[in-house]
Amino acid sequence: MKRAFIYKDEKSHKFWWIDYSGCDFAVNYGKFNSIGKFEIKDFDTEEECLKQAEKLIHSKEKKGYVEDANFDFMHRIYIDSEEYGLHPKTSHPRFTEHFTEELYYDCVDEEAPFGSDEGSDTLDSLEETIRKNPKLNFLDYPKYLIEHDWGMEYIPVESLDPEVVKKLASKKEMDMTQSDMVTYATAFGQIKITGRLSPKLQEQGVKAIKRLALLWGNGLTEIQNRMIDDLLSFPIGKD
């Protein structure tokens, strides 16, 4: 359950919302119209979680916060808690609604969007950058991250012909692997953070997964097929 509250007086205008269910809750708070700070807390039982959530809500109301039934949860930026990491409650509602498999919150599986070191670092970098630049151009970000921050060469997917990929990999396999992992992590990251996806980045993300499968030489795995299907079926153009 999500509930949002607003505090406003002559000196300040703040928001605070909580999303609680099961054995954990997330809170997001800060100056109104800011991204704010995200926190996650978990408990041994659902009863304890509910008790602590209601206690926090009561505390906010005593301080003068007023519930806002029309709070816009959709047009917001969502960033994981630094202390907790990947979590559905600190992901955009469109992401959690569409990407339901556990793999999207897996931080150890190399194939998962954010499971590899490259994928995890990409998401961390995206979240850090978007705090400074809410109008971040996600489409150009893979090239920027690879070349500006990591000092490697970004290799876009220009062909999925196995022979062409094999020939290029003989010279630049590491750069290609890094490029592919960062590209599809950025595509998923854009949705996780903003609830939107650039059509071009959708296309590039799918191609990156397919080329990585060619690089690894085992064909598309179950996880890779799942990611491709989910990326392609994500609604493009939502406001």
The DSSP code sequence of 2-58 is EEEEEEE-SS-EEEEEEEEETTEEEEEEEETTS--EEEEEE-SSHHHHHHHHHHHHH
Residue 41 has pLDDT above 80, yes or no: yes
The DSSP code sequence of 81-142 is BTTTBS-GGGS-HHHHHH--SGGGG-SS-TTSTTTSHHHHHHHHHHHHHHHH-TT--TTTHH
In this prediction, residues 31-42 reach a mean pLDDT of 96
pLDDT attached to residue 174: 96
Q: How far apart are CA 99 and CA 197, in angstroms?
A: 13
pLDDT above 90 as % of the chain: 96
Residue 239 has pLDDT above 80, yes or no: no
Side-chain half-sphere of 130: how many Cα atoms within 13 Å? 26
Confidence of residue 237 (pLDDT cuts 50, 70, 90): low
Kindly give, in sequence order, each residue whose CB lies less than 8 Å from that of residue 107, ignoring residues fewer than 6 positions away: 85, 86, 114, 115, 120
Beta bridge partners of 38: 28
Q: At what angle do helices 117-132 and 162-194 cross, to 10 degrees?
A: 40
Tens digit of each residue's pLDDT (9 = 90 or more) over 144-200? 999 999 999 999 999 999 999 999 999 999 999 999 999 999 999 999 999 999 999
Q: How far apart are CA 62 and CA 59, in angstroms?
A: 5
Tens digit of each residue's pLDDT (9 = 90 or more) over 11-29? 999 999 999 999 999 999 9
Q: Look at the pTM and tell me if it is higher than 0.85.
A: yes
Q: How far apart are CA 105 and CA 82, in angstroms?
A: 14
pLDDT above 70 as % of the chain: 99
In this prediction, residues 118-129 reach a mean pLDDT of 97
Cβ neighbours, 10 Å, residue 8: 13
Tens digit of each residue's pLDDT (9 = 90 or more) over 67-113? 999 999 999 999 999 899 999 999 999 999 999 999 999 999 999 99
Residue 238 has pLDDT above 90, yes or no: no
DSSP 166: H
Domains in the chain: boundaries: 2-67, 88-233
Q: How far apart are CA 18 and CA 54, in angstroms?
A: 10
Cα of 115 vs its chain's centroid, Å: 12
Residue 126 has pLDDT above 90, yes or no: yes
Q: Which CATH class is domain 2-67?
A: mainly beta
State in Å, rounded, how far the first CA of the chain is from the last one: 23
pLDDT attached to residue 218: 81
CB-based contact 169:161 (threshold 8 Å):
no
